[in-house]
Amino acid sequence: MKFAKLLEIQFQGYFLCRLATDPDPTNEQSGVSGYTMALVHEDPLDQVIRTQIDPDFAEKNLREPAQRMKIRVGVDVCGVTFDGVTSATAARALHGAKVSLRGKTPPFDGPIFDSRNNTVGSDDNMMFVVNPFELEIRGEHVVIEATDHLDPTDPTRQIWQIEDPSVYSRRLPTAFQPNSQAAAAAIRVFDGYAYFRDRRRFLEQRIGELEAERARGGNRAGLDARIEAMRTRIYQLELWGDRVIGKLFFQLTYSFNINGPQRIAGAEHLGGEVDYDHPWPVTFWFGAWDGDLLTGYMQGTLGIPFQPAPAP
């Protein structure tokens, strides 16, 4: 069975990635010499790309003023088309479905931008492999899963065990844009300097509010920790300056055919027949990286070879 046309599932939204940055080693958990760090009340840095987070994790790790900026970490399905036209049945079945990256790359507890300080890929031009790539799209009635193997001849092989980079080159970004208008439009920010000047003003204002609360007899130890966290963020923005600002409009684009197992639970709700015998193409980008909030934006499309059911 081979279908020539694709059911295309579009998705977009904010992701969170609490990662150490050069010259810190990849497995650094606090942040010492790079421009990112874990604040005293937060979880350790763990490198994991999170396209979904629960409220407890957000309460602890999603920094102010993300909530005031209407930043909600969550990549969701935003449209479904077949042959360029909205597929009403599939769109209903996948409306608001959550897009997640599953699996893990030891010693990390989830998918990461795999570089290991230039051991694989390159930090200079953001040539990072998303590793592993186990895509899940979970709706109320339909769950789609698709896995891509770095080396389909040996799926258990780790990236650092692959001596020839051409084996996984298809999983490297196909394009790197340092000043992407698509990234700017996605987060509705077009002046990076103004964006981070506003951030500094916000942090200074919050420090003043917390100091006033402390003067009124609030929990001194807790307030001191929060104040120092705000001061640390201001220091990082001042110290790293253009390195943080410049990454706000980065865009890394990936495009490959998913070569591993595919599965759809509830496929009958899509309104047609799915082809599982051929690779599914996926194109997506990560960008709009905020090195203070440790958030970015993801947007993409998964294509599934598909044949709609005949009209009744």
pLDDT of residue 312: 66
pLDDT of 32-58, one tens digit each? Answer: 898 999 998 899 999 999 999 999 999
Residue 1 has pLDDT above 70, yes or no: no
The 10s digit of each residue's pLDDT in 103-135 is 998 889 999 999 765 566 555 567 899 999 999
Least confident of 111-115, 138-142, 265-269, 300-304: 111-115
What is the rounded distance in angstroms from the CA atom of residue 290 to the CA atom of residue 14?
Answer: 11
**The pLDDT of residue 231 is above 70:** yes
Handedness of CA 222, 224, 227, 229 (dihedral sign): negative
Token couple for 116: 């290991």
Q: How far is 176 from 60, CA to CA, in rounded Å?
A: 32
> Sorting pLDDT into bands at 50, 70 and 90, what band is 160?
confident
pLDDT at 227: 95
SS3 assignment for the chain? CCCCCEEEEEEEEEEEECCCCCCCCCCCCCCCCCCCCCCCCCCCCCCCEECECCHHHHHHHCCCCCCCCCCCEEEEEEEEEECCEECHHHHHHHCCCEEEEECCCCCCCCCEEECCCCCCCECCCCECEEECEEEEEECCCCEEEEEECCCCCCCCCCHHHCCCHHHCHHHCCCEEECCCHHHHHHHCCCCHHHHHHHHHHHHHHHHHHHHHHHHCCCCHHHHHHHHHHHHHHHHHHHHHCHHHHHHHHCEEEEEEEECCCEEEECHHHHCEEECCCCCEEEEEEEEEEECCCCEEEEEEEEEEEEEECCCC
**What mean pLDDT is reported for the chain?**
92
What is the structure's pLDDT at 106?
87
pTM: predicted TM-score of the whole model, two decimal places: 0.94
Model confidence pLDDT, tens digit, residues 194-207: 999 999 999 999 99
- Is residue 11 very low, low, confident or very high in pLDDT (cuts 50, 70, 90)? very high
Cβ atoms 198, 191 nearer than 8 A: no
Q: How far is CA 181 from the centre of its chain?
A: 18
Which pLDDT band, with edges at 50, 70 and 90, does 88 fall under?
A: very high
pLDDT mean over 213-223 = 88
pLDDT for residue 117 = 57
Confidence of residue 228 (pLDDT cuts 50, 70, 90): very high
Backbone angles phi and psi of 120, in degrees to 5 = -125, 145
pLDDT at 288 over 80: yes
Residue 124's pLDDT is: 58
Higher pLDDT, 26 or 243: 243
User: Residue 2: its pLDDT value, please?
Assistant: 66
* Res 22 pLDDT > 60: yes
Q: Which of 138, 153, 125 is nearest to 260 (CA)?
A: 153
Q: pLDDT grade, residue 220 (50/70/90)?
A: confident
